[in-house]
Amino acid sequence: MRKLAGHVARAFILAAISAGGVSAQDIAKETVDEGASLFKGLGLCHACHGPEAKGVPNLGVDLTDDEWLHSDGSLEGILESIRQGVTGDKSSSGTLMPPKGGSALTEEQLSAVATYVWSLSNKP
């Protein structure tokens, strides 16, 4: 049952991304928790953005504030930035972020990470 709930939550997030309108109340806690776990583990995000997503000087920016350098801060924009990465010439630190952060995350996992990152600056 829990596995099915996770798939339903991810399907909801993907549908909400496509529709272009999501509120903090709509985001399933389970998806945010999964994204946080991936951010701090297999997603490799923590290496440049730090374990609390506050950024690492000269590597990755703070993802907990409301200043977005490589997207508009929407869930869809964040997901696209993670998918595509950031080239060194567009990076504020000059350090590139490879597509998927250099990880081998699936589309569902990328969606969970994007949801977690989005939730950091979109508290209810």
2-120 CATH choice from 1.10.760.10, 1.20.930.40, 2.30.30.60, 3.40.50.150: 1.10.760.10
Instruction: For residue 71, give both structure tokens.
Output: 């997207």
Between 87 and 21, name the one with better pLDDT: 87
pLDDT band at 24 (very low <50, low <70, confident <90, very high): low
Evaluate if residue 4 carries a pLDDT over 60.
no
pLDDT for the residue 52: 96
pLDDT tens-digit profile of 36-50?
999 999 999 999 999
Between 34 and 27, name the one with better pLDDT: 34
Q: What residue type is 23 in one-letter code?
A: S
pLDDT tens-digit profile of 49-98?
999 999 999 899 999 998 998 899 999 999 999 999 998 888 878 889 99
Q: Where are the alpha helices (DSSP H) in 1-124?
A: 2-19, 29-39, 46-49, 75-84, 107-120
**Closest residue by Cα to residue 31 from 18, 12, 53:** 12
- Against a cut of 0.85, is the pTM above it? no
pLDDT for the residue 1: 38
- Domain ranges across the chain: 2-120
